[in-house]
Amino acid sequence: MRALFFSLLALTPLTALHSAEAPKPRNGDKLLIAYDDGFSPFYSGRYKTAADLRKQMQLFKDTQVAVMEWCITSGSRVNFPAKTAELVGTAVQEYGRRGDQLAAETLRQLAAEGSDTLQVVASACREIGIQCYASMRMNGDYSAPELSSLFNSDFWRAHPEFRILGPKGEVRTPMSYAFPEVRAFRLGILREAAEREIDGIDLDFLRHPPFFGYEEPLVKAFQDKYGLDPRTLPADDSRWLQLRAEVMTNFLREIRKMLDVAGEKKHRHIGLAARVDWRDHRALGCDVEAWLKAGLLDYVVIAQHTLGGYEFDLAPFVEMARGSGCAVLFGEEGITSGHDTTAAEDKLIAAGKMVEPPRGVLSLQQLQTRAARWYAAGADGVHLFNVGNIPAMKSLGTVQPAPPKP
């Protein structure tokens, strides 16, 4: 394991190794990217057949959306037939929420009838002239029993030794990218996704950090290099952050190489994108600047790991990406308040003792006003997460940048 770890740290110089090919805007001046989590509409019953998936993609035909990101993972399980991971809900006998059961049963039925959800979505996108990126939630495993049984993979269950450790050895729920086996597991899912007619892969680092802790491979590597135990140092020690960032950067290199191989077979470029937290990306092991210098990304979404309505200065990221060919998008989280229904709440709702918890969302006017600000800051476009506002998708690409403040 140590040999694999150190070979991964053998970085090549951070000059551009690849030529970024950012998606082009469609029906507008700015790049709009929409996102479907690949689970919620199965949960609600809106997606029941392959025809439902195709019908949903048709909604974007006359919009300014250029890329549809279709999430392929919930926890560390998948929503398309794969050899490397199980379908969501595999082997589950009791469900926490009614929607969980409906989603699992629908995915099983689709697979049984030979419907590959990812391929269906990718083909439907191609028919209407938009790109399809398969999106992976980079560490979405759950600790609650009713959710872990539904979403967490058999690989996660079989390998508790690969989970994140706190500084005192506390075992966390997520798996750690410090382990080559974990990276190989994730890469295997992405490789299978790339076999479909997708146009790219999106790595969603906002679902959910962290990605590293104080695992033995990292601790040992740091001790060998610096003669210090990182568990005794501040969590933001620059040497410690750099070590973890190098591991993740090289994992992105592996993904980029895999996509290059897949692209050669298809005689076209297959893109790579990432969504990261503007405040904490470096602390979490995501060295965006290194990724841009190496030419690994075609577009990057800068967002925040919270509910929507947040604001921050996008200009430093625009400057960081200058000359890289990588598009920079502001990441809008459309939900501003509320929470996912719990198993206990779902039982009360089913019994008529509670109404569905309300959620606040960004309005069309808010989305337009905010887009004008991001464009003024230099954004190449907007990424719409948890936004189902079709009028927004028909207008945000032509919103004019806000005038400078007097």
Query: Is there a contact between 378 and 314 (Cβ–Cβ < 8 Å)?
Result: yes
**Is the pLDDT confidence value at 261 over 70?**
yes
> How many whole angstroms separate alpha carbon 141 and alpha carbon 97?
17
Tokens of 273: 């994108």
**Is the pLDDT confidence value at 3 over 50?**
no
Average pLDDT for residues 379-405, to the nearest whole number?
96
pLDDT of residue 19: 80
Average pLDDT for residues 153-182, to the nearest whole number?
98
Average pLDDT for residues 258-262, to the nearest whole number?
97
Confidence class for position 16, pLDDT limits 50, 70, 90? low
pLDDT of residue 361: 98
pLDDT of residue 190: 98
Q: What percent of the chain has pLDDT over 70?
A: 96
Strand partners, 175: 163
pLDDT of residue 17: 64
Q: Greatest CA separation found in the chain?
A: 62
Q: Which residues of 26-45 are buried (b: 16+ CB within 10 A; e: fewer)?
A: bebebbbbbbbbbbbbbbee
pLDDT of residue 1: 46
Query: Is there a contact between 20 and 368 (Cβ–Cβ < 8 Å)?
Result: no
**DSSP-based helix, strand, coil % in the chain, nearest 5:** 40, 15, 45
Q: Chain-wide mean pLDDT for the chain?
A: 95
Distances 91 to 62, 83, 249, 295 between C-alpha atoms, Å: 41, 16, 35, 41
pLDDT tens for residues 81-105?
Answer: 999 999 999 999 999 999 999 999 9
**Is the pLDDT confidence value at 374 over 80?**
yes
Q: What single letter denotes the amino acid at residue 173?
A: T
pLDDT of residue 15: 54
**Is the pLDDT confidence value at 341 over 90?**
yes
Q: Which long-range contacts (CB under 8 A, 24 or more apart) does 227-230 make?
A: none
Query: Is there a contact between 30 and 400 (Cβ–Cβ < 8 Å)?
Result: no
Average pLDDT for residues 34-55, to the nearest whole number?
98
Confidence class for position 7, pLDDT limits 50, 70, 90? very low
**Is the pLDDT confidence value at 9 over 90?**
no
Q: What percent of the chain has pLDDT over 90?
A: 94
pLDDT of residue 138: 98
Provide the total of helices (H) and of strands (E) in the chain, helices listed first: 15, 14
pTM listed for this prediction? 0.95
Domain 2-398 has CATH 3.20.20.80: yes
CA 61 to chain centre: 24
* Residue boundaries of the structural domains of the chain: 2-398
